[in-house]
Amino acid sequence: MENIYLPDVVEIADVRDETYDTKSFALRFLKPERWKTFDYRPGQFVEISVFGVGEAPFCLASARNGAEVFEITVRRTGAVTDVLHTLRAGAQLGVRGPLGNGFPFDEVKGRDILFVGGGIGLPPLRPLIWEMLGKRDEFGKITVLYGARTPADLVYKDDLERWRSREDVELMVTVDVADENWTGNVGVVGSLFPKAAIDAPATIAFVCGPPIMIRFVVTDLLALGFADKDIYTTLERHMRCGVGKCNHCLIGDKYVCTDGPVFSYQQMKSMMDPG
């Protein structure tokens, strides 16, 4: 019987600063053969152990490639992430996963795809964007709209550059508050919709970001004519076991860790949780 609570040991291969409070970590299994069974889909997450401090869930933030590492993007918010941010390449951590349900992929082939990310919401979308770009012919128009509070809060600056320079994806970036060097859009991410030429009935939307941003964006998308079932997002809750046993991540009768974290707006509407 598999032990769903037993982590594999990984080592930090690389650390990259994204913003003043966010870092990306590239992780490599200590036992390389584990990589073969670590078959994950965009939208899934892992539970990372900082042994002695605890575990925390992070979405898988990189597309599978030949390098046999996977990335997580971590913002400093609590005990585990505080310690994680002090660690360098070579440090050992634990990983359990992949966990959760992942974004739909095959089911949305042939449709236009709209990605809407806010701040720390871009990490879960990033692997999906790259995977879709990797099978570009199977999808229609691909649009990426990304917003952050200030230019300093934008993550994945390299990826943004690469997407910007491609012909087969439209990228628009905005900030709530510009700095003196910013020449791009200013405003919330929803303000990009009129500029993006979206054909709602033909499009599937993937929206990730802080809860309040999701609320506003979903309202805008519905107004544009999107169907409930064509809007997907990732939900977050306090998680402990990550495998549907400890009950902390329940929303109504749905476990964010196993029934989610990806939910369609149609599903979300029927999820009964008080408060």
Select from 30, 67, 89, 177 the one that contacts another protein (CB under 8 A): 30
Closer Cβ to another protein, 4 or 89, answer by number: 4
DSSP-assigned beta bridge partners for residue 250: 255
Q: Residue 25 CB, nearest distance to another protein (Å)? A: 16
Two tokens, residue 247 = 């009950």
Select from 134, 184, 194, 252 the one that contacts another protein (CB under 8 A): 252
Q: Residue 198 CB, nearest distance to another protein (Å)? A: 30
Q: Residue 75 CB, nearest distance to another protein (Å)? A: 9
- For position 33 contacting another protein by CB under 8 A, the verdict is no
Max CA-CA distance within the chain?
A: 58
Two tokens, residue 9 = 């040991």
User: Where are any strands of DSSP class E within the chain?
Assistant: 8-19, 22-29, 45-50, 54-59, 70-75, 92-99, 112-118, 142-148, 170-175, 185-186, 203-208, 231-234, 250-251, 254-255, 262-264
- For position 253 contacting another protein by CB under 8 A, the verdict is yes
DSSP-assigned beta bridge partners for residue 144: 115, 171
Q: Residue 14 CB, nearest distance to another protein (Å)? A: 19
- For position 32 contacting another protein by CB under 8 A, the verdict is no
Q: Residue 30 CB, nearest distance to another protein (Å)? A: 6
Contacts of 37 (CB under 8 A, 6+ apart): none
In whole angstroms, give the CA distance from residue 212 to residue 142: 24
Site string for another protein, 203-242 (x = CB under 8 A): --------x------------------------xxx-xx-
Q: Residue 103 CB, nearest distance to another protein (Å)? A: 20
Site string for another protein, 50-89 (x = CB under 8 A): -xxxxxx--------------------xxxxx--------
Select from 35, 216, 246, 264 the one that contacts another protein (CB under 8 A): 246
Report yes or no: 250 and 242 within 8 Å, Cβ to Cβ. Answer: no
Closer Cβ to another protein, 157 or 245, answer by number: 245
- For position 188 contacting another protein by CB under 8 A, the verdict is no
Owner of token pair 């196993």: 258
In whole angstroms, give the CA distance from residue 238 to residue 232: 20
User: Where are any strands of DSSP class E within 87-190?
Assistant: 92-99, 112-118, 142-148, 170-175, 185-186
List of residues contacting another protein (CB under 8 A): 1-7, 9, 30, 49, 51-56, 77-81, 92, 94, 211, 236-238, 240-241, 243-248, 250-253, 258, 272-275
